[in-house]
Amino acid sequence: MDSISKFKHLAENAVLEPAEETSLRPAPQLAPCGIPLTDQTPNRQPPISKQTQAASLHKDLGIHHAKMPGGKTIPLLKTMLTSACERNCYYCPFRAGRSGRRVTFKPEEMAQSFMDLYRAGVVEGIFLSSGIIKGSINTQERLNITAEILRKKHHFGGYIHLKVMPGAEKEQLRQAMRYVNRLSVNLEAPNDKRLALLAPKKQFLAELVRPLQMIEEIRQNEPGHMGWNGRWPSTTTQFVVGAVGETDLELLSTSEYLYKQVRIARAYFSSFRPVADTPLEHLPPSNRLREHRLYQTSFLFRDYGFDLEDLPFTQEGNLPLEIDPKLAWAQSHLQDNPVELNRAERQELLRIPGIGPWGADSILSARRVGTLRDIDDLRHIGVQTKRLKPFVLLDGKRPTFQLPLW
Ligand code: SF4
């Protein structure tokens, strides 16, 4: 089978992950080693017309328009070295024993095939994962060799995101870090108990958390100029949401640890979708709104200074679905104690609904040259004012706002 046919075959079972850095965008369906699943809706056909040929080609090959750190969007090839796997994760279409054709690339072939697409202007970056064959160490080695060939032989200077295999060794991680922009280790579940129900052959701490810790140890203790572009890569992870009874509290408590202790750039939350001919095929798909609330909350940890204790969990340990978690916090803490925007610290500003890091910095800049007296002053500096009105004072006065009709 030629390489284009292999890419197409892989893309039939896997679609591209959401943009690398887009926020609050619905996540893909659950991901086998980071490759989200296609929509399983019968008879779903992409529109084919002259106007959509390029988009159709991208979809056929598994190319996704991904937003890079810094904001640039590039066409990213998301693919696998092999769709064969000796493990049997309960949710995965590539699990051992499931029927279906498997395809495999050699590292040199993958690198050359990617470069052919790159030189043709079809892709600008690659996200490379793999099923596990002859053990994780061997598979990680093949992933690393692919990245090395791209950098050293083909002098590829673009974006490489490599998936870390469960149980990869520290020296392998160090090698990978020299060639890539991003490494990701999918925890899939928030703890060992839940993981055993999803992926019984994966060891939560030893195989999944430990590699993220080792990457952070290298970033902390070894000079970043060893990285191909003078910096060490960022890290991400992904959780499958809603398959095995895990609570939001469990997911977010692990996410908070990862953001604060091993400095991941992002936790992805992927709503569970059942895959035919897998042990979890009988389960219902999980609620996408839950996934959205988890994203919102994880960004409160990462960008807004919130802690787990700030969040309004139900008795069952889940977030209320009907309300934005930041708004819920503000309603119970700020409604009767509005924040004076002319005096608040940055961290206080970030707690106000409608004010993000950019808005907080704009307010701080504006205060250096004058007093913010009314809502129009905020609008003039580009701050969204719709949601903040009930929670702020401007020069000692509350802005007028209409109470919600409930
Ligand atoms: S290790 Fe698990 S999730 Fe990854 S490809 Fe194999 S069966 Fe799928």
Final residue of a structural domain among 276, 310, 344: 310
In a domain, 220, yes or no: yes
Nearest to 38 by CA among 97, 109, 100: 100
Would residue 114 count as lying in a domain? yes
Helix (H, G, I), strand (E, B) or coil at 14: strand
Pocket around ligand 1 at a 6 A CB cut-off:
32-33, 85, 87-89, 92, 94-95, 131-132, 199
How much of the chain exceeds pLDDT 70, in percent?
Answer: 88
Same domain, yes or no, for 338 and 258? Answer: no
Single residue among 275, 310, 345 that ends a domain in this structure: 310
- Contact assessment for residue 290 and residue 242, using Cβ atoms and an 8 Å cutoff: yes
* Higher-confidence position of 110 and 99: 110
Domain span including residue 288: 3-42+52-310
Q: Is the pLDDT of residue 268 over 50?
A: yes
Residue nearest to atom 3 of ligand 1 (CA): 32
For residue 399, being part of any structural domain is answered with no
Cβ atoms of residues 38 and 275 within 8 Å? no
Whether residue 263 is found in the same domain as residue 228:
yes
Q: Is the pLDDT of residue 240 over 90?
A: yes
Looking at the structure, tell me whether residues 297 and 372 fall in a common domain.
no
274-301 tens-digit pLDDT: 999 999 999 999 999 999 999 999 999 8
The tens digit of pLDDT for each residue in 35-89 reads 554 433 334 444 556 556 667 777 788 888 888 877 789 999 999 999 999 999 9
Q: 277 with 95: CB under 8 angstroms? A: no
For residue 39, the 8-state DSSP code is: P
If asked whether residues 263 and 368 sit together in one domain, one would say no
**65 class by beta-carbon count within 10 Å (0-12 exposed, 13-18 middle, 19+ buried):** middle
Pocket test for ligand 1, best of 95, 138, 201, 208 (most atoms within 8 A of CB): 95
pLDDT band, very low/low/confident/very high, at 33 (cuts 50, 70, 90): low
245 assigned to some structural domain: yes
| pLDDT-above-90 percentage for the chain | 76
Q: How does residue 8 score in pLDDT terms, banded at 50, 70 and 90?
A: confident
In a domain, 400, yes or no: no
Question: How close is the Cα of 76 to the center of ligand 1, in Å?
Answer: 21
Residue 53's pLDDT is: 64
Q: Do 142 and 203 lie in a common domain?
A: yes
- Of 82, 88, 89, the one to substitute when testing ligand 1's pocket (max ligand atoms within 8 A of C-beta) is 89
**Cα separation of 340 and 373, whole Å?**
11
Residue 88 CA to ligand 1 centre (angstroms): 6
Determine the pLDDT at residue 41: 35
Q: What is the CATH number of the domain that holds 19?
A: 3.20.20.70
In a domain, 405, yes or no: no
Are residues 381 and 250 both part of a single domain?
no
Same domain, 367 and 272: no
Average pLDDT over residues 247-274: 95
Structurally, the chain folds into a number of domains equal to: 2
CB 29 within 8 A of CB 269: no
Q: Which of 310, 345, 377 is the last residue of a domain?
A: 310
Give nearest CA residue, ligand 1 atom 7: 95
Is the same domain home to 294 and 355? no
Query: Which phi and psi (to 5°) does residue 376 adopt?
Result: -65, -35
DSSP helix/strand/coil, 266: strand
Assess if residue 320 is contained within a domain: no
Of the listed ranges 223-227, 293-297, 376-380, the one predicted with least confidence: 223-227
Residue 404 domain-assigned (yes or no): no
pTM: 0.85
Residues 21 and 135 in one domain: yes
Cα-to-centroid distance, 7 and ligand 1 (Å): 18
Whether residues 234 and 365 fall in one domain: no
Integer Cα distance of 143 and 128 in angstroms: 8
Judge if 294 and 369 occupy the same domain. Answer: no
Query: What is the rounded distance in angstroms from the CA atom of residue 95 to the CA atom of residue 87?
Result: 6
* In contact, 75 and 123? CB cutoff 8 Å: yes
Residue 335 has a pLDDT of 85
Looking at the fold, whether 169 and 24 belong to one and the same domain comes out as yes
- Report how far ligand 1's centroid is from the alpha carbon of 6 (Å): 18
Using alpha carbons, list the distances in angstroms from residue 90 to 243, 268, 300, 318, 368.
10, 19, 31, 24, 57
pLDDT of residue 72: 87
Coil, strand, or helix at residue 340?
Answer: strand
Q: What is the overall mean pLDDT for the chain? A: 88
